[in-house]
Structure 1
Amino acid sequence: MATSAEIFRKVRALGMQILPPPVPNGGYDLVSVHRGLAYVSGQLPRTGTGPEELMAGRILGEDDIPRAQEAARLCLLRSVFALHYHLGDLATVKGLVSIRGFLNAAPDFGAHAKVMDAASALARELFGPAGGHVRSALGAGSLPSQALVEVELVAELGDTHAS
């Protein structure tokens, strides 16, 4: 199990930044732990708290895929940070279980998996073999604040967080 310090070193080595703690934007919990699983609420691609720091828009076609992949990686990263801030240290994460991606995509867009592959690759890069997971990639008519992508994460926790 990788510690938060180890994961953060990998994040910096990838040229990504350590983000501030995500804050729920409504009446829900950011992370809920139940029977050894941590469920992270959907994360939007935000680099900060201001509206200008949200990657918004719609995926219309192939030309939008690189930007959507960047948004998917950012959402995954925010999910990992949410876990860190909730648990205190990522060392309690035994492994990832599931990643669910929602894409603000045009009805005829079909490369959902290609976009979410970026988040999956980052999960494996950060957690190694423990970053393996099942995944869904879904098109959505719209997302909160017109975000480009939203990602939910489920992680298995070690025995110290069984309930």
Structure 2
Amino acid sequence: MTGPIETRLAQLGVTLPDAPAPAANYVPFVQVGDLVFVSGQISNGPGGFITGKLGADMTTEDGAAAARTCAISLLAQLKAACGGEIDRLVRVVKLTGFVNSTPDFTEQPKVINGASDFLVEALGDIGRHSRSAVSAPSLPLGVAVEIEAIFQIK
């Protein structure tokens, strides 16, 4: 049975993928009480990793699209953390976004808006969250964006 969150995602044309496996010695999520801390999810689309450096070979709009893919992976990890019942989500608490960018690039918040805007569009008010958006001189595998999240569940 599909709940309200997956119904809304389907209306947006989004099907959550299987939660990506960790690439190193860490776990994809940790639950502490009613909080789920999801490890950083890297930009990944149907063609593979979305790589590039903002301010060099990617536009802000390209970065925002990459950030959106991170948000979809975050929700996939949350669904796994909830035993497949993503409707246990109470709210998105916080995102921390890392943008692979040149030293003079200053639009990190606009890049991470790709994830924030998607979460609000998909989840409504429970998708509103606190956030950080910072630059990084490089990210794993050359990806454009990595985002970690904290969710509250019931």
TM-score (normalizing by structure 1): 0.86
Return the structure number with greater strand share: 2
Q: Structure 1: which 4+ aligned runs deviate by more than 4 Å? A: none
Q: Is the 8 A contact 1:4 1:90 kept in 2?
A: no
Which residue of structure 2 lines up, in the alignment, with residue 116 of structure 1?
112
Q: Distance in 2 between matches of 1:45 and 1:10?
A: 22
Change (3 A) 1:86 1:63: closer
2:71 alignment partner, SS class = helix
Q: Is the 8 A contact 2:36 2:81 kept in 1?
A: no
Q: Is the 8 A contact 2:19 2:80 kept in 1?
A: yes
1:120 alignment partner, SS class = helix
User: Quick check: 1:78 aligned with 2:73?
Assistant: yes
Which residue of structure 2 lines up, in the alignment, with residue 22 of structure 1?
20
RMSD (Å), alpha carbons? 1.9
Which residue of structure 2 lines up, in the alignment, with residue 133 of structure 1?
129
Q: Is the 8 A contact 2:12 2:122 kept in 1?
A: no
Cα shift at 1:20 = 2.4
Which residue of structure 1 lines up, in the alignment, with residue 147 of structure 2?
151
- Which of 49, 58, 66 aligns to 1:54? It is 49
TM-score (normalizing by structure 2): 0.91
2:59 alignment partner, SS class = helix
Q: Is the 8 A contact 1:4 1:91 kept in 2?
A: no
User: Quick check: 1:92 aligned with 2:91?
Assistant: no
Cα shift at 1:35 = 2.4
Change (3 A) 1:74 1:141: same
Q: Percent identity?
A: 28
1:42 alignment partner, SS class = strand
Change (3 A) 1:38 1:149: same
Which residue of structure 1 lines up, in the alignment, with residue 37 of structure 2?
39
Cα shift at 1:128 = 1.1
Provide structure 1 residue ranges, at least 5 long, that are not aligned to the other structure: 159-163
Which residue of structure 2 lines up, in the alignment, with residue 103 of structure 1?
99
Cα shift at 1:119 = 1.0
